[in-house]
């Protein structure tokens, strides 16, 4: 059986570079990344069809490698924080590569025993893993050529629409966003949205439950919390819009962090039993191999040997310690180097297990597209910050505090690498289980994907930093990228180590999280749906302009799914909807990276503008935006409603 091949690795590497570039841009702009498994699987089938002997398992390896782009790029939720606090002015290439790679490889190793707990031994839906498997199955069977053709057409059409609107927006022919500040009660709030077709695609992929949960978070944050915190109006000399924006960043976001943290802890508690059973299963498989009966194990049960996994995890602590020592040179950590590095390495070892478990569970529950890892990233930053505060206390020296915050972010970046890959690996392993793949070969492929992604992420980050910069960083301009998670995680580390974190805000968020968890459990047990707590938290702490369209996309996707259930081939119709939505994300994201290059070469973020002021930009933008969505889904329904030919 042809599975892990050189041509598959090369194709996977090329797709990883392409999709990583797209994801880095999208993540920095809106705080979300997209899963790349399905488009990678479709492209792989189209390319490998030209070669003899291609198999479904070989295509699966390609999507496994390329899927690393969907989540490894989420390291951008941490690393830009070092720019924002003024510690780095750029991204040191090899240091950044090492941080990303070692964390990602640890993520692969940690998720090996979790496969038995969360894939073969659970009923988690794994929406994207199942969808990718279905695409691969149909592509390898009767009618595969025709479905492959229609699927590629759906991705390309969605990409052209989303990139086309983004180009028109950069030309100033249509609006990129709209916003207004209004008084509400004794306070004020803001209503805003960006005209981003990518957000419609994200909403379709995450589904109605997550979309509704994010809408609930938006209502809590912008209708209740923000007017409460702005009661009394702005200080003298401060514009109302600036006051509302500042209050959101300094107060509402920390409430959202508390909600996300509570949801992550709850997830871990639910996972303890399955994790222990998964480790026991891996040990049993190791005993079978030692007894010379490894061939009796089913193909889909052959993971990397648990002994190898353990050895790699322990060995990885050596380069991690070296990285930490190098980063801490000359700073306050060097004063207690042995104790701090020892405790930090132990923290990374233990936190990695926790992070991998939580992220793997959430990926199985709602898929990788919603990037739930940001919530546990906040927990990781809190944990290391509290550890450093216990060792060094709270200093009145701003320089020492900045150095400790930078060290905390550097450690969080390593742990975040674990989070990104465990969030993705189990999704891939679910796909592999459904198509008869060998787990250890997929695990090796994902290590390769980590290496490819680690090599390409730092220069893309550097390009975007030099072109746009990051909001809050020294010298950042008005076109700076928001990098919302990096800003939040940096603020939490600064708050803990500076001794000025408002724990009351975190506590309020925790209480909201506990209430949402209770509601979610009641809904699930009654069979009336769900309200994912993590999505509620994201709705609270992400700016409305970046999330308002996600619930809309979820609603549009829901109605499409209802139509698909009545289509001649419901499963095919549903997959076509997924591919069309993915195209919306890919097109806009890839244009974003291309535009960063154009702006860098020309030295102007207005390089494509043909109009300076356009009074009709907003109404024209709404018309074009709505028309593009209607056209995409009408075309997709037409293509999905026609029976496949043999």
Instruction: Report the pLDDT value the prediction gives residue 569, as an integer from 0 to 100.
Output: 86
Instruction: Report the pLDDT value the prediction gives residue 367, as an integer from 0 to 100.
Output: 58
Give yes or no for a contact between 553 and 584, defined as CB atoms under 8 angstroms apart: no
Cβ neighbours of residue 549 closer than 8 Å, sequence gap 6 or more: 193, 194, 196, 199, 200, 203
pLDDT for 134 beyond 80: no
- The alpha-helical segments, DSSP class H, found in 116-143 are 127-140
pLDDT for 45 beyond 50: yes
Q: Two tokens at 48?
A: 């490998």
**pLDDT tens string 584-609:** 877 887 787 677 667 767 767 778 88
User: What is the rounded distance in angstroms from the CA atom of residue 646 to the CA atom of residue 146?
Assistant: 8
Cross-strand pairs, 441? none
Percent of the chain with pLDDT over 90: 15
| Phi-psi group of 442: left, alpha or beta (phi > 0 → left; psi -120 to 50 → alpha; rest → beta) | alpha
Q: Strand, helix or coil at 196? A: coil
Cβ neighbours of residue 408 closer than 8 Å, sequence gap 6 or more: 381, 384, 385, 388, 493, 496, 497
Q: Where are the domains of the chain?
A: 6-641
Cβ neighbours of residue 526 closer than 8 Å, sequence gap 6 or more: none
How many other CB atoms sit within 10 Å of the CB of residue 157? 20
Cross-strand pairs, 190? 181
How many other CB atoms sit within 10 Å of the CB of residue 559? 11
How many other CB atoms sit within 10 Å of the CB of residue 525? 8
Determine the Cα angle at 117 with ends 111 and 118, to 5°.
75
pLDDT for 142 beyond 50: no
Helix (DSSP H) and strand (DSSP E) numbers for the chain: 24, 2
* Run of H or E residues at 267: helix 253-290
User: What is the rounded distance in angstroms from the CA atom of residue 114 to the CA atom of residue 510?
Assistant: 27
Q: Two tokens at 199?
A: 């957000």
**pLDDT tens string 431-444:** 777 777 788 888 88
Helix axes 533-541, 503-526, angle to 10 degrees: 140
Give yes or no for a contact between 474 and 82, defined as CB atoms under 8 angstroms apart: no
**pLDDT tens string 522-574:** 998 888 888 888 778 878 877 888 788 889 999 999 999 999 999 888 888 88
Q: Two tokens at 615?
A: 């009074």
Q: How confident is the model at residue 16 (pLDDT cuts 50, 70, 90)?
A: confident
Determine the Cα angle at 62 with ends 426 and 108, to 5°.
35
User: What is the rounded distance in angstroms from the CA atom of residue 347 to the CA atom of residue 477?
Assistant: 37
| Phi-psi group of 501: left, alpha or beta (phi > 0 → left; psi -120 to 50 → alpha; rest → beta) | beta
| Phi-psi group of 471: left, alpha or beta (phi > 0 → left; psi -120 to 50 → alpha; rest → beta) | beta
Instruction: Report the pLDDT value the prediction gives residue 645, as an integer from 0 to 100.
Output: 65
User: What is the rounded distance in angstroms from the CA atom of residue 146 to the CA atom of residue 140?
Assistant: 11
CA dihedral (615, 619, 624, 625) positive or negative: positive
Q: How confident is the model at residue 31 (pLDDT cuts 50, 70, 90)?
A: low
* Run of H or E residues at 516: helix 503-526
Cβ neighbours of residue 391 closer than 8 Å, sequence gap 6 or more: 336, 339, 340, 343
> DSSP character for 291?
T
> DSSP character for 470?
B
Instruction: Report the pLDDT value the prediction gives residue 124, as an integer from 0 to 100.
Output: 66
630 vs 641, residue with greater confidence: 630
What average pLDDT does this structure show over 372-381? 71
Closest CA to 355 of 377, 370, 371: 377
User: What is the rounded distance in angstroms from the CA atom of residue 34 to the CA atom of residue 560?
Assistant: 20
- The alpha-helical segments, DSSP class H, found in 468-614 are 484-498, 503-526, 533-541, 544-547, 549-564, 570-602
Cβ neighbours of residue 448 closer than 8 Å, sequence gap 6 or more: 9, 12, 13, 65
CA-CA distances (angstroms) from residue 326 to 319, 323, 495? 10, 5, 25
What average pLDDT does this structure show over 273-292? 65
Give yes or no for a contact between 576 and 640, defined as CB atoms under 8 angstroms apart: yes
Q: Two tokens at 287?
A: 């005993």
> DSSP character for 527?
T
Instruction: Report the pLDDT value the prediction gives residue 632, as an integer from 0 to 100.
Output: 95
Cβ neighbours of residue 313 closer than 8 Å, sequence gap 6 or more: 106, 109, 110, 349, 352
CA-CA distances (angstroms) from residue 623 to 130, 160, 193, 580? 35, 17, 15, 20
User: What is the rounded distance in angstroms from the CA atom of residue 203 to the CA atom of residue 620?
Assistant: 23
Instruction: Report the pLDDT value the prediction gives residue 121, as an integer from 0 to 100.
Output: 61
User: What is the rounded distance in angstroms from the CA atom of residue 496 to the CA atom of residue 382?
Assistant: 7
User: What is the rounded distance in angstroms from the CA atom of residue 424 to the CA atom of residue 128?
Assistant: 10
The pairing of strands 177-184 and 187-194 is antiparallel
- The verdict on pTM exceeding 0.75 is no
**pLDDT tens string 462-513:** 887 887 788 777 776 666 777 767 777 888 888 888 777 788 988 999 999 9
Largest CA distance in the chain: 79
Instruction: Report the pLDDT value the prediction gives residue 136, as an integer from 0 to 100.
Output: 74
What average pLDDT does this structure show over 249-272? 79
- The alpha-helical segments, DSSP class H, found in 329-397 are 337-366, 373-392
Length of the chain: 646
CA-CA distances (angstroms) from residue 7 to 43, 62, 472, 502? 14, 9, 44, 53
**Winning range, highest mean pLDDT, from 262-266, 310-314, 353-357:** 310-314
**pLDDT tens string 310-346:** 888 889 899 999 999 888 887 788 888 888 899 999 9
Q: Two tokens at 462?
A: 């550097």
């Amino acid at each position: 059986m042809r599975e892990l091949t050189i041509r598959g690795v090369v194709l996977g590497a090329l797709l990883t570079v392409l999709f990583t570039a797209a994801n880095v841009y999208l993540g920095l702009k809106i705080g979300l990344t997209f899963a790349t498994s399905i488009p990678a699987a479709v492209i792989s089938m189209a390319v490998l069809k030209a070669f003899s002997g291609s198999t479904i398992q070989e295509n699966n390896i390609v999507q496994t490698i390329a899927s690393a782009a969907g989540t490894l790029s989420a390291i951008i939720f941490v690393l830009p924080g070092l720019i924002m606090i003024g510690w780095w002015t750029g991204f040191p290439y090899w240091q950044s590569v090492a941080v990303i790679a070692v964390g990602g490889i640890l993520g692969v190793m940690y998720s090996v025993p979790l496969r038995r707990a969360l894939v073969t031994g659970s009923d988690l839906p794994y929406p994207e893993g199942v969808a990718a498997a279905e695409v691969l199955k149909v592509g390898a069977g009767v009618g595969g050529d025709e479905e492959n053709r229609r699927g590629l057409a759906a991705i390309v059409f969605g990409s052209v629409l989303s990139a086309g609107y983004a180009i028109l927006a950069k030309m100033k022919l249509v609006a990129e966003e709209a916003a207004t500040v209004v008084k509400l009660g004794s306070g004020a709030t803001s209503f805003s949205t960006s005209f981003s077709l990518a957000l419609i695609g994200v909403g379709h992929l995450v589904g109605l439950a997550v979309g509704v949960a994010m809408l609930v978070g938006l209502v809590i944050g912008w209708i209740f919390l923000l007017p409460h915190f702005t009661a009394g109006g702005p200080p003298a000399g401060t514009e109302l819009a600036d006051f509302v924006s500042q209050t959101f960043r300094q107060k509402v976001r920390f409430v959202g962090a508390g909600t996300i943290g509570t949801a992550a802890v709850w997830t871990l508690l639910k996972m303890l039993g399955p994790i222990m059973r998964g480790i026991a299963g891996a040990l049993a498989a190791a005993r079978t191999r030692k007894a010379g009966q490894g061939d009796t194990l089913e193909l889909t049960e052959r993971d990397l040997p648990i002994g190898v996994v353990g050895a790699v995890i322990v060995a990885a602590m050596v380069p991690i310690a070296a990285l930490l020592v190098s980063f801490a040179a000359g700073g306050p950590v060097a004063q207690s180097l042995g104790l701090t590095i020892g405790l930090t390495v132990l923290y990374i070892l233990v936190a990695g297990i926790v992070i991998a478990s939580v992220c793997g569970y959430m990926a199985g529950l709602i898929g990788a597209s919603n990037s739930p890892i940001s919530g546990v990233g906040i927990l990781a930053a809190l944990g290391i910050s509290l550890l450093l505060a216990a060792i060094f206390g709270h200093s009145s020296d701003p320089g020492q505090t900045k150095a400790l915050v930078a060290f905390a972010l550097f450690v969080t970046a390593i742990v975040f690498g674990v989070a990104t890959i465990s969030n993705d690996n189990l999704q891939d392993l679910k796909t592999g289980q459904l198509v008869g793949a060998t787990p250890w070969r997929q695990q090796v492929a994902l290590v390769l994907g980590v290496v490819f992604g680690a090599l390409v992420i730092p220069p893309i980050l550097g390009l975007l930093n030099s072109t746009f910069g990051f909001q809050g960083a020294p010298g950042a301009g008005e076109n700076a990228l928001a990098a919302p998670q990096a800003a939040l995680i940096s603020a939490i580390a600064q708050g803990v180590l500076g001794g000025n974190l408002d724990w009351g805000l975190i506590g309020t968020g925790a209480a909201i999280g506990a209430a949402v968890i209770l509601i979610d459990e009641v809904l699930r047990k009654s069979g009336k749906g769900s309200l994912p707590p993590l999505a509620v938290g994201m709705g609270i702490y992400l700016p409305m302009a970046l999330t308002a369209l996600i619930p809309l996309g979820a609603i549009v996707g829901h109605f499409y799914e209802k139509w698909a259930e009545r289509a001649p081939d419901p499963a095919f119709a549903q997959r076509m909807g997924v591919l069309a939505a993915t195209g919306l994300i890919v097109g806009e994201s890839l244009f974003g990276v291309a535009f960063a290059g154009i702006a860098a070469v020309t030295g102007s973020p207005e390089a494509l503008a043909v109009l300076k002021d356009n009074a009709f930009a907003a109404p024209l933008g709404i018309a074009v935006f709505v028309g593009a969505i209607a056209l995409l889904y009408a075309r997709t329904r037409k293509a999905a409603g026609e029976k496949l030919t043999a």
